[in-house]
Amino acid sequence: MKAKEQYCAFRTIVDKEVIRILRIWMQTLLPSAITMTLYFLIFGKFIGSQVRDINGFSYMEFIVPGIIMLSVITNSFMNVVSSFFSTKFMRSVEEILVSPTPNWIILIGYAAGGIFRGLLVGLIVLLVSLFFTHINIYNFGIIIIFILLTSIVFSLGGLLNAIFAKRFDDISIIPTFVLMPLTYLGGVFYSISVLPAFWQGISLLNPILYMVNGFRYGFLGISDINIWIGFGMLVIFAAILFYINLHLMKKGTGLKT
């Protein structure tokens, strides 16, 4: 395939994904907006008003970046895992597999769909947060780098999950039992500095802590960790997941017999 044809195939996958996301907005966009509004209301407003400032910022200001990141992680992952698994389930994935579209185009096409949904939901949650607090911007470049890299990593993670999934149950195991606990324990609602030393050490093993803190640094200029370690981890995770997915697709794991 020539470069122009490859771009056409890529656009086809992305357009399909974007149309799907917007068509079923009540499933893809609305739930996060409602859930996160409740988080702002309950944790930020009701409980947060009883919590003292963290590094000079109100509790509401502190949790906004984490809650945005929580929605980006969940939506990027869920978009790719559900969309790609559905094509496997309906066998419409065969439409692409019999075509000359290279595997890497399929991979980045579906990842782009996940990134689009992740960023769109992130933007919606950011807009919702404006009803509750004002937004500080410490470093816009860092915000963009962290949100983009995080959505890339979790879109690729969703694809990996979808490749191995055989039943619909399989696409909810990772989000429920891995992603959700790691995200909640990843410093979305608290700074790890309030934890005992032992749990601080344990928390440092959680990669989502680095993503949340890097992103928060872009807004508030404060972080529990060195954000460059977070940046490095994201780049490495993205590269590893890209390679693993590409290798599995080439082998035909979960796609071919």
Partner 1 sequence: MSETALSIKNLKKTYKGKVEALKGIDLEVKKGDFFALLGPNGAGKTTAINIIISLTNKTSGQVKVFNYDIDKELGKAKTCIGVVPQEFNFNIFEKVFDIVVHQAGYYGIGKKTASKRAEKYLKQLDLWEKRNATAQALSGGLKRRLMIVRALIHEPELLILDEPTAGVDIEIRRSMWKFISDLNTKGRTIILTTHYLEEAENLCRNIAIIDKGKIIENTSMKNLLSRMDKDTFIFDITTPIKKVPQLKDHKINILDPTTIEIEILKKQNLNRLFEHFKKNNIEILNMRRKTARLEELFMGLVNKK
CB 214 within 8 A of CB 146: yes
Query: In the set 97, 182, 235, 246, which binds partner 1 (CB under 8 A)?
Result: 97
Stretch that binds partner 1, among 10-18, 37-45, 163-171, 239-247 (CB under 8 A): 10-18
Closest contact distance (angstroms) between CB of 5 and partner 1 is 2
Closest contact distance (angstroms) between CB of 9 and partner 1 is 5
- Kindly state whether residue 193 participates in binding partner 1, applying the rule CB under 8 A: no
Closest contact distance (angstroms) between CB of 1 and partner 1 is 6
Closest contact distance (angstroms) between CB of 187 and partner 1 is 39
Considering the complex, state which of residue 101 and residue 223 has its C-beta at the smaller distance from partner 1: 101
Considering the complex, state which of residue 12 and residue 172 has its C-beta at the smaller distance from partner 1: 12
- Kindly state whether residue 181 participates in binding partner 1, applying the rule CB under 8 A: no
- Kindly state whether residue 176 participates in binding partner 1, applying the rule CB under 8 A: no
**Taking CB under 8 A as the rule, which mask of x and - marks residues 20-59 in contact with partner 1?**
----------------------------------------
Rounded to 10 degrees, what is the CA torsion of 66, 68, 69, 70?
A: 80
Considering the complex, state which of residue 232 and residue 252 has its C-beta at the smaller distance from partner 1: 252
Query: In the set 26, 91, 141, 169, which binds partner 1 (CB under 8 A)?
Result: 91
Closest contact distance (angstroms) between CB of 15 and partner 1 is 8
Q: How many residues bind partner 1 (CB under 8 A)?
A: 28
- Kindly state whether residue 163 participates in binding partner 1, applying the rule CB under 8 A: no
Q: Considering only CA atoms, which of 186, 34, 19 is closest in space to residue 121? A: 34
Closest contact distance (angstroms) between CB of 107 and partner 1 is 14
Q: State the SS3 of the chain.
A: CCHHHHHHHHHHHHHHHHHHHHHCHHHHCHHHHHHHHHHHHHHHHHHHHHCCCECCECHHHHHHHHHHHHHHHHHHHHHHHHHHHHHHHCCCHHHHHCCCCCHHHHHHHHHHHHHHHHHHHHHHHHHHHCCCCCCCCCCHHHHHHHHHHHHHHHHHHHHHHHHHCCCCCHHHHHHHHHHHHHHHCCCCCCCHHHCCHHHHHHHCCCHHHHHHHHHHHHHHCCCCCCHHHHHHHHHHHHHHHHHHHHHHHHHCCCCCC
Cα three-residue angle 200-226-77, rounded to 5 degrees: 80
Query: In the set 94, 166, 200, 228, which binds partner 1 (CB under 8 A)?
Result: 94
Query: In the set 16, 35, 139, 231, which binds partner 1 (CB under 8 A)?
Result: 16
Q: By CB under 8 A, name the binding residues for partner 1.
A: 1-2, 4-6, 8-9, 11-12, 15-16, 86-87, 90-92, 94-102, 252, 256-257
